[in-house]
Structure 1
Amino acid sequence: MTEGQDKPITDMSFEEALRALEGVVRSLESGDVPLDESIALYERGEELRKACQARLDAAQAKIEKIVAGADGAPTGTAPFDADS
């Protein structure tokens, strides 16, 4: 059984989800997993990948909204869903 296989993805931190995804990949690459389990692992891996990508996208959006002052130095941040 791979790490994080039973824990709901929504309860995982980014780091936990990434470790679980790495575990899924290792299991699938080993070739020692029966077909039905491989399919379940692949589905779990895809859900983990989507969750990680969503968190990375949200983090990138926040970073892109850093507010710069007249001198170009960061003066704070703005919510990524706020109008510019």
Structure 2
Amino acid sequence: MAKKPENLTFEESLSELDTIVTDLEQGDVSLDDALKQFERGIKLVRSSQQKLEHAQQKVAILMQEDDAEPSPYQPEDV
């Protein structure tokens, strides 16, 4: 049984989407299987979009928290 889209990594989702697109483009899939694959693809896309949005929010938060000016590196005397 395939993992739920939300349990896949972003990269796993992209890989599975690529496989689905390839299968559908070849046209060797029955209509019922094509519909199932299409439905799975939609779920993968939605899950991937949520993961991207979450990552963007994290980056935005981290950028806001980094208000301090960078200071030059000064190695400690050994």
Q: 1:70 to 1:10 in 2, by over 3 A?
A: closer
Scaled by the length of structure 2, the TM-score of the pair is 0.76
Q: Which has the higher contact order (CA 8 A, sep 6+)?
A: 2
Aligned equivalent of 1:38? 34
Q: C-alpha displacement at 1:70, in angstroms?
A: 5.1
Identical aligned pairs, as a percentage? Answer: 35
Which of these two proteins has the greater Rg computed from alpha carbons? 2
Instruction: Please say if 1:6 is aligned against 2:6.
Output: no
Aligned equivalent of 2:76? none
Aligned equivalent of 2:67? 69
Aligned equivalent of 1:24? 20
Note the residue ranges of structure 2 that are not aligned, 5 or more in a row.
Answer: 71-78
Q: When you count helix as a share of all residues, which structure comes out higher? A: 2
Note the residue ranges of structure 1 that are not aligned, 5 or more in a row.
Answer: 74-84
Runs of 4+ aligned structure 1 residues displaced above 4 Å come to: none
Distance 1:8 1:70 in 2: 41
RMSD: 1.6
Distance 1:70 1:12 in 2: 36
Q: When you count strand as a share of all residues, which structure comes out higher? A: 1
